[in-house]
Amino acid sequence: MHLRLCLTCGHVGCCDSSPNRHASAHAHAADRPLAASAEPGEDWAWRFLDQTLIGRRE
C-alpha cells in the first residue's frame, strides 16, 4: 500500500492498488483533483480529472 496526499486539503489516503482506494474516493467525492505521492523519494503528482502524471523526474 502506498499513500497519496491531496494537494488541496492535505487528506492522506491509500493508492488505487489498495482494496479501498481511499485517495481516489476522496478526489472524486470532494472534487479535489490533485494528489501527490506521500512516499519517501517519490516526486510526482496525479491529476484525477484526466489521469495525468505531473512532475515525475526520471
Across the chain, mean pLDDT equals 93
Contact 23, 45 (CB under 8 A): no
Q: Does the structure show a pLDDT above 60 at 11?
A: yes
Q: What is the DSSP string of 6-57?
A: ETTT--EEE-TTSSS-HHHHHHHHTT--EEEE-STT---EEETTTTEEES--
pLDDT beyond 70 at 57: no
Q: Where are the domains of the chain?
A: 1-33
Q: What is the pLDDT of residues 19-36, one digit of tens each?
A: 999 999 999 999 999 999
pLDDT, residue 33, reads 94
Global pTM reads: 0.87
| Beta bridge partner(s), residue 5 | 12, 36
Whether the per-residue pLDDT at 1 is higher than 90: the answer is: no
